Amino acid sequence: MEIQISKEAAKWYKREMDIEEDSTSLRFYVRYGGMGGNIPGFSLGVKESIPENPHTSKKVEGLQFFIESNDAWYFDGKDLKITYSRKNDEPQFKYLEH
């Protein structure tokens, strides 16, 4: 599994989360509830965190985006692609077969 994130999406996270340091790490984690996720009844959350046992990570615009190994089940052989929607001014998530 791989994380793909556009530069525009990474800039959005920096702006919305008021991140000034390029050494910041953002974790995507599985949470119960929410909409638009890969598995009904679950969705992705994001928070600043230090990687402990990362399954995959990607550095974009100075930010390290990662998913811990204990959340890898949620992707079940799919890649996570995050782009930025100018129309909605928010990131968009896609789960792609690889």
What digits encode the pLDDT tens for the residues 6-21?
Answer: 999 999 999 999 998 7
- Whether pLDDT at 58 is above 80: yes
DSSP per position, 25-68: EEEEEEEES-SS-SSTTEEEEEEE---SSEEEEEEETTEEEEEE
- Name the residue range of residue 25's domain: 3-97
pLDDT for the residue 94: 94
Work out how many domains the chain is built from and give that number.
Answer: 1
Supply the CATH number for residue 30's domain: 2.60.300.12
- pTM for the full predicted model: 0.92
What does the pLDDT look like over 12-47, one tens digit per residue? 999 999 998 778 999 999 999 877 678 888 999 999
Burial of residue 5 (CB within 10 Å: 0-12, 13-18, 19+) is buried
